[in-house]
Amino acid sequence: MFNLSDIHWLTSDAAEPWLADAALEKNLVGLAKRLRKHLSSEQTHLVLEQTQLRHRAREKFSHAAHMFFTRKGFEQSTDETIARYKSQRFALHSKVADLCCGIGGDTLGIAQIANVTAVDRCDATAFFAKTNCERLGLHNVEVQAQDIRELDLSKFQAIHVDPDRRVLGKRTSQVQGGEPGLKTLCSLVERYQNVAIKLSPTAVLPIDMERRGELEWIESRGECRQLVAWFGNLAYRPGSRQATMVVGDKIESFGVSEPTTPTLGQSPVIGKYLYEPRPSILAADLTSSIANAHELNAIAPGIPYLVSNQRIDHPMLRGWMIHTWLPFDLRRLRAKLQDANFMVLDVKKRGVDLSPRTIARKLHGTGEKPITLIVTRHENRVIALITSRVTT
């Protein structure tokens, strides 16, 4: 465990040349040896760790090379595209509290449109959040190292809170296992109204909180990253569920207001097209809703592959045109691919205990027509669909 003097050194001008040198070095063993000749063991470890974290953070933050991270803070941080999108909900509020701010992922987004007080009880994490805001030229942020239960929150117009989901070092998706826990979160909503709670995509809130707030599952970079429960005037449609995909500044979404989930029909035939809902649709349990909205049916019970004879262009559905399908048999598949001059570019599967990588290796082809092979179930048997991607 490093003390604050080590952390202060890491963010000082004295450490900057070593961080810059480390960013260019590919031989980490040689780098470590060179650093140990000039720095203490604690300083060497900090430089090496920060270099690795900055490298990993590039997919989340465009200014990662100038930011500072703790390992836990990086892993739990909101990436800047999602933070920028979420910040729009705070547009009517000039003073916002970002509680359990971590290294400042959401703080950086909210600070674009409001004055922010960012709070984290870990001294090192709070110091990094403060440094990150300063490095990015955000001077409307006050950072405090404090337990949020000791704060007077009445002066803020809105609150964002990101409970720690690794209190004991092991990640949890349950609201009750976070810190602050469910009791404190409920109290925040009751007392201050305009509250946003960032949660794991698989978290489950009490029914009364679900009905009172708006639940939004947000995906970025191909995965559903978080569930946000919006309350008060931060909720556009209280009681609704929404799936949102953030790609840069482009936003796509699908949502429903009805509290019940419609029945998903099963298809007796395969059809001409197959669709797979986006990760946020799956996480939000909106597969049946989007299927009903576009007259799609499931290929088999419990499998979120949807089929139709109609081409559907919707950004929250990934689509493939089905060229043909046959019962899954490697020998027959290999012969079919060779006869039709197909080349397998990708293998997908759902509802079967098979390895896409193993299938791809055994079906390596040299054909000229690229296809996606989809292995799944239909009418109690395993089938293989030879498809090509449809751009939506």
- As given in the structure block, the two tokens for residue 149 are 């239960």
pLDDT of residue 75: 93
pLDDT of residue 164: 87
- As given in the structure block, the two tokens for residue 338 are 């060779």
The whole-number average pLDDT for the span 238-245 is 96
Split at pLDDT 50, 70, 90, the class of 31 is confident
Task: State yes or no: pLDDT of 53 exceeds 70.
Answer: yes
The CA-CA-CA angle for residues 121, 165, 247, to 5°, reads 105
d(CA 215, CA 218): 10
pLDDT of residue 26: 80
pLDDT of residue 174: 75
pLDDT tens digit string along 344-353?
A: 999 999 999 9
Phi, psi (deg, nearest 5) at residue 52 = -65, -45
* AA letter at 260: T
Ranges 48-57, 108-117, 355-364: which has the least confidence: 355-364
CB contact set of 257 (below 8 Å; sequence gap of 6+): 237, 239, 240
The runs of H, that is alpha helices, within the chain are 4-10, 16-24, 28-36, 41-57, 71-76, 80-87, 105-110, 123-135, 182-192, 207-212, 279-283, 287-293, 330-339, 356-362
d(CA 133, CA 309): 52
Tell me the three state secondary structure of residue 240: coil
CB contact set of 244 (below 8 Å; sequence gap of 6+): 85, 216, 217, 218, 219, 251, 252, 253, 280
User: What proportion of the chain, given as a percentage, has pLDDT over 70?
Assistant: 96
Is residue 270 within 8 Å of 307, Cβ to Cβ? yes
pLDDT tens digit string along 184-202?
A: 999 999 999 999 999 999 9
* AA letter at 71: R
Is residue 333 within 8 Å of 326, Cβ to Cβ? yes
The CA-CA-CA angle for residues 334, 340, 342, to 5°, reads 70
pLDDT of residue 32: 87
Task: State yes or no: pLDDT of 1 exceeds 60.
Answer: no
CB contact set of 229 (below 8 Å; sequence gap of 6+): 196, 197, 199, 205, 209, 210, 213, 214, 215, 216
CB contact set of 241 (below 8 Å; sequence gap of 6+): 214, 215, 216, 217, 255, 256, 284, 285, 286
pLDDT of residue 173: 64
Task: State yes or no: pLDDT of 160 exceeds 60.
Answer: yes
Work out whether the CA dihedral 33, 36, 37, 43 comes out positive or negative: positive
Tell me the pLDDT of the chain averaged across its residues: 92
d(CA 236, CA 213): 9
* Among 352, 336, 348, residue whose Cα is nearest residue 388: 348
